[in-house]
Structure 1
Amino acid sequence: MADITVKVLEPAVSYDLLTLDELKTILGISTTDTSEDALLEMWIDQYSDVIATMCNRVFAREKVQETWRGDLPPQDCARVFLTHYPVVDADIESVTCNGATITDYEIENRSGKLTLFGSWSEPIVVVYSGGYLLPDEAPAALKTATGILVTGARSEMSRSTISGIKSISHRESRVQFFDESGGSSSGAGAIAAAGDTVNALLYKYMRFYV
């Protein structure tokens, strides 16, 4: 596996995968209702980070300098997979190999695969901007996954507020409450139960190192 050093030159303005209004729409909350805004914004920040961690990458658009050394692909054609993608051609500021400027290369925009043609040597240094302008440009799958996790968190919080109440008695009447998930063989909460769906949505966005 190649040794990669990433230096952030210009950090992203936002790392959130959802806007507050988008989340409110998902949860069925009126955009004029601000009673939960602080909590919802915290969840957006929290679960956007969870998804980025699960996918092993940064989705937000940043300007970075990447240095690649060691165990690179075949010697006649170097290929590196940039960490911040998608990347458009115009966003690559410079590519150098052992200090020499390289202009004969090809970028696969969607995956960030950079192929160098001709002779080359280590280290390969690439200065570029890549990723999505968040939250507006976040793919629908990432927005959906974030919404599912926040919905689960909100459901778990609501359930926990009444979990200690088992029954209410008034004179001769008595009402008992049962936890629907309590009898489940797995005992999974709302967030855990959504795991398969979230993983399916995120799989194509995960970054794997080989």
Structure 2
Amino acid sequence: MADIIVKVLDPADSYDLASLDEIKTLLGLPAADTSEDELLGMWITYYSDVIATLCNRVFAKEKVIESWRGDTKPFDTDNGRVFLTHYPVVDTDIESITAPDGTTIDAGYELENASGKLQFFDATWSEPIRITYTGGYDLPDEAPPALKQALALLVQNARIWQSRALTSGVRSISHRESRVQFFDINQAVAKMGGAGPLAMANEMVSGLLYKYTRFYA
């Protein structure tokens, strides 16, 4: 496995995967109702970080310098390639690639923009190789819809759990001739041997995040 050292030169302004207005729209909340805005904003930031952690990567666009080295080289003379940690990457956003002797490598490679894969064709140098570039999404506007949907599901789950906590142990409320009974759909579905809405939402989140997860060999 390659040893990768990442130094952030220009951190992102925001790591949130969606704006407050987007989350309220996805959850079907009225834009004019601001009673939950502070809490929703906190959840957006919190669960955006949770998603980034689960996906093992930083989604926000940052300028970084990466040093690649290791026992199993991420590049060699036959099949040389490195997978940049911040992606997608535009060709013009690669500022420099330098070899161990300090020489600049400005040709003999190709960039796959979506995955951040750098494929070298005539690499004759050894490790470490250092790449200075800017990569990632300009958040929250450029975040893929799948990530926004996953974030909305997590925030919705948080709202549901909060609502359940407030009525925990309460089965009904009576006032004079009126009576309100609470129905927990998760428990009802569980008794029938199925997964409740919360469990199904978590499965959906896992499915949405899979294609955006960074795996290390």
Deviates more, 1:116-125 or 1:46-55: 116-125
Counterpart contact for 1:47–1:149, Cα < 8 Å: yes
User: Residue 45 of structure 1 aligns to which amino acid in structure 2?
Assistant: T
Q: Residue in 2 aligned with 1:20?
A: 20
CA offset digits 1:135-170 (Å, max 9, x no partner): 000001000110111111111111221122123456
- State how far apart, in whole Å, the 2-side matches of 1:172 and 1:134 are: 52
Post-superposition offset of 1:117:
2.6
Overall identity of the aligned pairs, in %: 64
- State how far apart, in whole Å, the 1-side matches of 2:35 and 2:85 are: 38
Post-superposition offset of 1:74:
3.9
- State how far apart, in whole Å, the 2-side matches of 1:173 and 1:82 are: 62
User: Residue 109 of structure 1 aligns to which amino acid in structure 2?
Assistant: N
Relative to structure 1, the CA distance from residue 175 to residue 126 in structure 2 (aligned partners, 3 Å threshold; closer, same or farther) is closer
- State how far apart, in whole Å, the 1-side matches of 2:82 and 2:120 are: 8
User: Residue 88 of structure 1 aligns to which amino acid in structure 2?
Assistant: V
User: Residue 56 of structure 1 aligns to which amino acid in structure 2?
Assistant: N
Q: Residue in 2 aligned with 1:108?
A: 112
TM-score, normalised via structure 2 length: 0.89
Relative to structure 1, the CA distance from residue 150 to residue 175 in structure 2 (aligned partners, 3 Å threshold; closer, same or farther) is closer
Relative to structure 1, the CA distance from residue 39 to residue 188 in structure 2 (aligned partners, 3 Å threshold; closer, same or farther) is farther
- In the TM superposition, 1:186-197 aligns within 5 A as 190-197=197-204
Post-superposition offset of 1:53:
0.7
Counterpart contact for 1:152–1:190, Cα < 8 Å: no
Across the two proteins, how many residue pairs are aligned to each other?
A: 210
Relative to structure 1, the CA distance from residue 35 to residue 74 in structure 2 (aligned partners, 3 Å threshold; closer, same or farther) is same
Counterpart contact for 1:78–1:117, Cα < 8 Å: yes
Q: Residue in 2 aligned with 1:133?
A: 138
Q: Residue in 1 aligned with 2:51?
A: 51
Q: Residue in 1 aligned with 2:209?
A: 202
- State how far apart, in whole Å, the 2-side matches of 1:177 and 1:92 are: 57
- In the TM superposition, 1:80-91 aligns within 5 A as 80-91=82-93
Poorly superposed stretches of 4+, deviation over 4 Å:
169-176, 185-191
Relative to structure 1, the CA distance from residue 199 to residue 122 in structure 2 (aligned partners, 3 Å threshold; closer, same or farther) is same
- State how far apart, in whole Å, the 1-side matches of 2:166 and 2:82 are: 50
Q: Residue in 2 aligned with 1:158?
A: 163
Q: Residue in 1 aligned with 2:77?
A: 75
- State how far apart, in whole Å, the 2-side matches of 1:177 and 1:39 are: 24
- State how far apart, in whole Å, the 1-side matches of 2:53 and 2:95 are: 27
Structural RMSD (CA): 2.1
Post-superposition offset of 1:192:
3.7
Does the alignment pair 1:117 with 2:121?
yes
Structure 1, unpaired ranges of 5+: none
Post-superposition offset of 1:178:
4.4
Counterpart contact for 1:167–1:175, Cα < 8 Å: yes
